[in-house]
Structure formats: structure tokens, C-alpha cells
Amino acid sequence: MGGRNPVTWLGSPAFPKAAHEALADTQLRRNLRKATTTIRTKRAGVVAELDDWERLRRAGEAIKDDVLANLDTYLVRLEEAVTARGGVVHWARDAEEANRIVLDLVRTEGADEVVKVKSMATAEIGLNEALEAGGVHAVETDLAELIVQLGDDRPSHILVPAIHRNRAEIRDVFRRGMAEEPASDEPRDLAEAARRHLRRKFLSAKVAISGANFAVADTGSIVVVESEGNGRMCLTLPETLITVMGIEKLVPSWQDLEVFLQLLPRSSTAERMNPYTSVWSGVTPADGPRKFHLVLLDNGRTATLADQVGRQALRCIRCSACLNVCPVYERTGGQAYGSVYPGPIGAILAPQLAGDLHDEQAASLPYASSLCGACYEVCPVRINIPEVLTHLRAEAVQAKGKRTPEALAMAAAAWVFADPKRYEAAQKAGSLSQLLARDGRIKRLPGPGAKWTDSRDAPAVPKESFRAWWRKNRVQRP
């Protein structure tokens, strides 16, 4: 395995441009600030209830590291357990192969429409678009995903994809996309409109597609946690269930799963436990699908595993806690990242899964951070995101080579800083910038410097350096 496929949105702008557009959208910023502040405040409260929270974090980290170190063994164990219980396991090297497998399975069942449980893995591979191209319509059943789908929009958050929308905007989306429009923009009426819209889909669907939060290697059990009950409907009513799961989502045993069922809800929805935790092992015809297919997705994960620093991103349990504390995300939103995975975790995961440091979009993501470290402090599996960010930045610089304008400029700066006389001469030359300044600020720099002043002013170099001032004013002491 190890095939690569870009996870960035097709045709999306580079991060700086998209970020500037987001910063100019005051409504978006208000929506994000209110939502992230509410979630992180609630999270802090439920986390404070546990005296052993830090021990749980370290346990989660250790379990995930064990899985990554022994992934080959656990994957084989999972396949054997799923097969023994009547399921069928498929291996997909990349997005193209995974999409082809799923489309063939849906066509075999004679379905032209499927219901879907919210899944980051299927969004990563562009499954909805691949199914549509193959004549199959995918219906998102998670409320936020439904809002995004009906609004022909893009998700902006791992946990709450429509976090950038307020309720008035959601009502407008439902009016355009549903046969029966909501009575008002009150949350109860919006939820009722979605319930009526989806009920018909649940009862008529032959095939459902899901992701997976966890898979227990010992028993072949797949676990999906959610808050609305739509997942339970998808996982029990259709005759055929297809699950697309990243190969890193394993836990060895049920005892290990216990740790994550405490970490995940508190870190994501700020709840003590998820309202709906669905678990199935193979085929369960008495109260579930008669056919079960598990698609194990690589799509760059084994290549990421080879990076001793970057591999810790594969510990991620998609809780989104890092998004809710990130000052960059709060001001720009997830769409500015141009990736299925936004925020701090997206800044380290997306470039590695994309596997192309020459890709301008992917290479820009590790710079979408102030390196404040808040993301590391809240991560339930202790991913040192700042460490990975700086590691990927260094790789991005190395990938550009030594002949780029940036590399030549840095080499010139190093040469100047290495000698006191050269440094002082550069200071004197820099004081000429006063000719371009107004009130001590430069609005527009010439040449390559224009990229800096496109979005900020530059301070002019003072007419007199500190060195010159010190020589002129220092007090001679015996």
C-alpha cells in the first residue's frame, strides 16, 4: 500500500488568499467565535470533572503508538475477525481504488441512491463526487453535513461542518433544497424539517455508507459514535452496509476502546458520553444489514507512518478540540485551509497525506499557525502539533532547493549577520527606507517585498541604529 492522492479541495485557492477573504467576512467570524467559544468552555468543564484526565491522555497516546508500531499485525487480526463474522474486507491503496470498490458494490446491489453517515474518510477521497459521476446519489444524513450538501457548500469544521452558518442562513438553504420548507429558523423547526426530509430516505435506502471512529482488532467490531441518531438509522435499516475506514483507526481490544470512549466525547462535543454509540461485528441480519463490506483505506497513511516525527498525526481521533482553541482557525474558518482536514490537525495531516511538498496549497498549511501550543495542550492523544508543524516547515523549505529567491535571501542575510561590520553597514543602508515611509510605516515595498505589504504595513528602519546611538551616548566608565 502507500498510494497517494491529494486531499485538498480541487481548485481551491492557496491558504493566504482564502484566509484574507475569510478575515473580511465579519458574519463568518462572528459565527465561528460564538461556536468555538461555547464548545471549548463546555469542554473545559467536563474535562475538569475527571481527576485522571492526564492519565487517560497518556493511555490514549500509548495505545495509538502501539497500534502504529504494530499496524501490520493488527490489520490482519481485524480482517480475520471481520471475515469470520460474515463481513468482506477490501484493501484500497488510494482514493481512486477505494471509490471504485464502493461504486462497484453499490451497483451490484442495484442502487442509484445511498444514505451516508458523516465520514471524514469518504470526504477525503471525494466519494460523493465519484458516486455522482457513476450515477449514484449520496444523501448526507448528519444534519450539519446535510446543510453543507444542500447549500452546495464546503465543510469548515471536523465535528460541526456547518459551523460557519447561522440559523437564518440554514433556513434559506432548507427552503431551496427541501420539498417542505421549515416553519421558521428556530432550531426545533429546522430539525423537524430535516427529520421529515431524511425519514423517506432512510426507509427507502438499500445501501448505506459509513466511516468508523474505531475498529476493535480482536473481535472485528466497528464503532461509530454520533449525537443525532441518523447514524443508527443508516447502520440498521439498509440491507447492505459499506464502511470506509482509514487503516490507523484500530484499537487492539475492548479494554483499549474504553479509554477512547472517555476521551472522545469530552474532547469533541463536550459530553460525558455520546448519545449514540453503535457497534457491529460482521453481519447481523436479525437487527442490521445482511451484507457488510469494510474498505480499509491507505491513501498516504503508510508513507506518513515512515516519518518518525510526522507519524504522530495518525494518532488523531478526529475530536476537533484543536480547532476550537486555535486563534488562526477561529478567525479564518476551515474553508480557508482548502483541505478536508482543517485547523491545526489539518495543517499537519493534509500535507502528509497529499505527499507533495511541491504542492503550493499543501506546503502552505504548516504555516497556518502561530505555534502557541494550545492545540497540543487540549489534544486527547497528546499529538505535539507544534513539533510536527516546524518539522514540516523545514521539509517544505528543503523541497524548494537552494536556488529559490527565498533561499538566496536567507543565505544573504546569514552572510550579513555573521560579521558585525557587514551588519552595521546593512543597518545604514536600511535607513534609506525612511524615504518610502509615512509616519514611520511603509505602505508598499518594491519587488519581492510587495508580497509582505499586500496584507500589512512594514516598519521603516530607524535613521539611527542602536549601535550608533550607544557609541554617541554611552557613559564612559573607568
Residue 23: per-residue pLDDT = 60
Percent of the chain with pLDDT over 90: 66
What number is the average pLDDT over the span 209-229?
96
Q: Which domains does the chain have, with CATH numbers?
A: 20-302 (3.40.50.10420), 419-473 (no CATH)
* Separation in Å, CA 277 to CA 285, 382, 435: 19, 24, 66
Q: Given the C-alpha cell 469533541, which residue does it identify?
A: 268
User: Smallest Cα–Cα separation from 239: which of 92, 390, 115, 136?
Assistant: 115
Provide the edge-to-edge strand list for the sheet that holds 276-281: 250-251, 214-216, 221-226, 276-281
Amino acid at 114: V
Enter the C-alpha cell of residue 189. Answer: 423547526
Q: Give the burial class of 148: count Cβ atoms within 10 A of its Cβ; 0-12 exposed, 13-18 middle, 19 or more buried.
A: buried
Backbone angles phi, psi at 246, to 5 degrees: -65, 140
Mean pLDDT check: name the lowest of 110-124, 135-149, 234-248, 458-472: 458-472
Answer whether residue 11 shows pLDDT above 70: no
CB-based contact 114:205 (threshold 8 Å): yes
Percent of the chain with pLDDT over 70: 93
CA 140, 144, 147, 151 torsion: positive or negative? negative
Q: Given the C-alpha cell 487503516, which residue does it identify?
A: 247
Give this prediction's pTM. 0.84
Residue 8: per-residue pLDDT = 37
Enter the C-alpha cell of residue 25. Answer: 467576512
> Mean pLDDT of all residues in the chain?
89
pLDDT class of 464 with cuts at 50, 70, 90: confident
Answer whether residue 305 shows pLDDT above 80: yes
Answer whether residue 15 shows pLDDT above 60: no
Answer whether residue 81 shows pLDDT above 90: yes
What confidence tens digit (pLDDT) does each residue in 322-381 have? 999 999 998 888 888 888 999 999 999 999 998 765 567 788 899 989 999 999 999 999
Residue 476: per-residue pLDDT = 65
Residues 275, 257: Cα–Cα separation, whole Å: 17
Q: Where are the alpha helices (DSSP H) in 12-166?
A: 15-23, 26-48, 53-69, 71-84, 95-108, 120-124, 127-133, 143-150
* Separation in Å, CA 428 to CA 98, 124, 433, 470: 61, 52, 10, 15
- 463: CB partners within 8 A, 6+ apart: 431, 434
Comparing 477 with 331, the larger pLDDT belongs to 331
Q: Where are the alpha helices (DSSP H) in 85-134?
A: 95-108, 120-124, 127-133
Residue 120: per-residue pLDDT = 94
What confidence tens digit (pLDDT) does each residue in 178-209 have? 988 899 999 999 999 999 999 999 999 999 99
